[in-house]
Amino acid sequence: MAQVAAYAAPSARAPLGPHTIQRRDPGPHDVQIEILFCGVCHSDIHQVRAEWGDAIFPMVPGHEIVGRVTKVGTSVSKFVVGDLAGIGCFVDSCLVCDPCKRDLEQFCQKGAAFSYNGTEMDRKTPTYGGYSTQIVASERFTLKVPAGLDLAAAAPLLCAGITTYSPLRQWNCKPGDRVGVVGLGGLGHMAVKLAASMGAEVTMLSTSRSKEADARRLGAHAFELTSDPKALKSLAGRFDLLIDTIAADHDLNTYLGLLRTEGAMVIVGVPPAPAAVAAMSLIYGNKKLTGSMIGGIAQTQEMLDYCAAKKITSDVEVIPVQKINEAYERMIKSDVRYRFVIDLESLKR
Ligand code: NAP
Ligand code: ZN
């Protein structure tokens, strides 16, 4: 067992502060990783505030982890000491159920071991995330981080990247498709970059006029202010695909009206309250309303390799861990350009 410096929320809604956790010594199939950077996802805020029901405290959030391998177990073949490595939203699963066999480990029927606010597969040992200086995980659930990527900017690929890459692939995003991205935060800015890289004609749908220039720089061909009813009216029936990243309650019917006949809207954001969908919003036009949760390990590796080849990373504001509570407040006000990333050096001093 190792004593590891971390930042934790002691209870729901309490501010995060310094904390010490224990990490296991690496078993035969494990890698030990010194964490260099960890992205800050809006899911961290939802969970620290217990907005998704029961939560486990003290909670060390963080599932966009990039670091360097410092130890490998005796049977490890994918990594050697000194390699770059990444950990995303989950660290283990049963590997024998149907979703696991189909490379959808996030939907493991026994319940995947999520990287924090969960337990290992023994259902006893709590998991702790990347707001810490070290993590130990099975090599099966550890990603290879391609060389050549800026490491701080690569960290958000482990959640924001895969969460937007996966539905773009599932809905066969291709050159000429009209893709609308709803909400320009961490997920939204990755959706814009990735959809544009796949050749789509991307429209940013945002509540923040001040983000227009950034949206275009990120690759959006058009920008529309969703608070402007005239702008929305002019977009009726336009999009093949909408990726909805909004973390707060909003009216889905408005956006469904922007889909073309047989178009699809994929929800990835998790607003707190259930949304009312009028049957006619779907029936008229054979429209599809669907969801998507992160991506399996194989697809996450595919996404990392794709991003390395296309030189795609996140636009980040690097912060010391001591600024995390302030960063949360800014994210809630949609004031993030476009992902906070913690430099774990700040926890080693
Ligand atoms: P974020 O960086 O805070 O961005 C959310 C964006 O939504 C904001 O920047 C803002 O964009 C827009 N927004 C916020 N409040 C709004 C409101 N009241 N009305 C309309 N738009 C609003 O969050 P994130 O990290 O991208 O995460 C977004 C959501 O996805 C969270 O709920 C998170 O839990 C969820 N998530 C899901 C998955 C998954 O697997 N499905 C994975 C990761 C995260 P504008 O300023 O452009 O309007
Ligand atoms: Zn996340």
125/201 same-domain check: no
- The pLDDT > 70 percentage for the chain reads 100
Distance CA(289)–CA(266), nearest Å, equals 6
Q: Which atom of ligand 1 is nearest to the CA of 338?
A: 2
What's the total number of domains in the chain?
2
Per-residue model confidence as pLDDT tens digits over 207-234 = 999 999 999 999 999 999 999 999 999 9
Determine contact, residues 139/76, Cβ cutoff 8 Å.
yes
Ligand 1 mean position, distance from CA 271 (Å): 8
For position 13, what pLDDT does the model report? 85
Beta bridge partners of 276: none
CA-proximal residue: ligand 1, atom 30 (nearest): 269
Please tell me whether residue 42 adopts helix, strand or coil conformation. Answer: helix
Task: Provide the 8-state DSSP code for 321.
Answer: G
For 13, left (φ over 0), alpha (ψ -120 to 50), or beta?
A: left
208/227 same-domain check: yes
Backbone φ, ψ for residue 244 (5° rounding): -100, 110
Per-residue model confidence as pLDDT tens digits over 16-50 = 999 999 999 999 999 999 999 999 999 999 999 99
The single residue listed with the structure tokens 């529309």 is: 224
Per-residue model confidence as pLDDT tens digits over 180-206 = 999 999 999 999 999 999 999 999 999
185/152 same-domain check: no
41/154 same-domain check: yes
Query: Domain with 97 in it: what CATH number?
Result: 3.90.180.10
Per-residue model confidence as pLDDT tens digits over 338-349 = 999 999 999 998
For position 349, what pLDDT does the model report? 82
Query: What is the domain range of residue 196?
Result: 161-291
Determine contact, residues 131/38, Cβ cutoff 8 Å.
yes
167/52 same-domain check: no
Per-residue model confidence as pLDDT tens digits over 241-256 = 999 999 999 999 999 9
- CA–CA–CA angle 38, 39, 41 (5° rounding): 135
Please tell me whether residue 336 adopts helix, strand or coil conformation. Answer: coil
Ligand 1 mean position, distance from CA 76 (Å): 37
Ligand 1 mean position, distance from CA 187 (Å): 7
Distance CA(93)–CA(109), nearest Å, equals 9
What the block records as the tokens of 295 is 């991506």
169/152 same-domain check: no
Residue 88 has pLDDT above 90, yes or no: yes
- Residue 253's contacts (CB-CB under 8 Å, 6 or more residues apart) are 276, 277, 278, 281
Per-residue model confidence as pLDDT tens digits over 262-295 = 999 999 999 999 999 999 999 999 999 999 999 9
Query: Is residue 298 in a domain?
Result: no
Which residues have beta carbons under 5 A from ligand 2 (an ion)? 41, 43, 159
What the block records as the tokens of 165 is 């890459």
